[in-house]
Amino acid sequence: MNYIIPLLIFLLSYIIASFPSGVVIGKLFFNKDVRQFGSGGTGMTNVYRTFGIQAALAVFVLDLSKGIVPVILAYNAAFVWTSVGIDSSLLGQISVFLSGLGITLGHCYPVFAQFRGGKAVSSGGSYMLMTNWVIALTSIAFFVIMIRVKKIVSLSSILGYGLGVILSIIFALTPALQSLGYWNGMNEAGWVYPASLFVIYLILLWRHKENIQRLLSGKELDFKSKKK
């Protein structure tokens, strides 16, 4: 039974995160499919370029919620409602961390939107925020700085989340930092947490492969630009 719960957590997280916020906002208020415009993504950046700031903020809040709710449910399922975390602290942590993978895959490949979704930024960021607030806030601060300096969302996202991965490794290697910033039930996460962030980061990089190509060729758009 203990091994079924992590699987159920992963599936539930995927289903919740599959809610296509950008697609719903576009069709509901603008009668348009955001995937037919700009970069073709459903995330906040493409929604902003296509529909404006208010729609982008709505998508941001919804996407953030899609990441927050599954982690809360996963934590309670592993440590409060069942004995998974009590019987095995490692399995409890893995259960929570599997919710992050489910969130990311659901956001990027939503079953309710023909598997065409976002680029793992908001989903990965909300998972990071709900597991280690120190790493998350540091990464967000760096992301904001990079936005102000470079004004390129893709580059800022890649570097910001990459910093989070590096910090998680540093925390795991440093005894004095091994419990810093982790929420209840996930202290001393060891190498499971850096591994989970790294897997999500690989997905983020894959979803940004076209952006990376444009960055290397000097053709990437800034956050105010629109594709013709």
* Residue from 115, 130, 99, 141 nearest 6 by CA: 99
Q: Write down the pLDDT at residue 110.
A: 93
Name the percent of the chain lying above pLDDT 70.
93
State pLDDT tens for residues 27-59.
999 999 988 887 777 878 788 888 998 998 999
- Whether the per-residue pLDDT at 89 is higher than 90: the answer is no
Domains in the chain: boundaries: 4-217
Q: Write down the pLDDT at residue 84.
A: 86
Q: Write down the pLDDT at residue 227.
A: 45
DSSP-H helix ranges across 88-182: 89-108, 121-131, 133-150, 153-173
Q: Which residue has the tokens 């000097």?
A: 218
The C-alpha atoms of residue 152 and residue 135 are separated, in whole angstroms, by: 22
Residue 224's pLDDT band (boundaries 50, 70, 90)?
low
For residue 151, what are its two tokens?
Answer: 């004004």
- Whether the per-residue pLDDT at 222 is higher than 80: the answer is no
State pLDDT tens for residues 95-108.
989 999 999 999 99
The C-alpha atoms of residue 45 and residue 140 are separated, in whole angstroms, by: 16
Q: Which residue has the tokens 């809360």?
A: 72
State pLDDT tens for residues 125-155.
999 999 999 999 999 999 999 999 988 889 9
Residues 6+ positions from 89 with CB-CB distance below 8 Å: none
The C-alpha atoms of residue 193 and residue 190 are separated, in whole angstroms, by: 7
Distance of CA 57 to the CA centre of its chain: 16
For residue 146, what are its two tokens?
Answer: 């990079």
Name the percent of the chain lying above pLDDT 90.
54
Q: Write down the pLDDT at residue 116.
A: 86
CB atoms within 10 A of CB 222: 12
Please provide the average confidence, as pLDDT, over all residues in the chain. 88
Task: Enter the pTM of the model.
Answer: 0.88
The C-alpha atoms of residue 200 and residue 121 are separated, in whole angstroms, by: 9
For residue 84, what are its two tokens?
Answer: 């998974």
- Whether the per-residue pLDDT at 225 is higher than 60: the answer is no
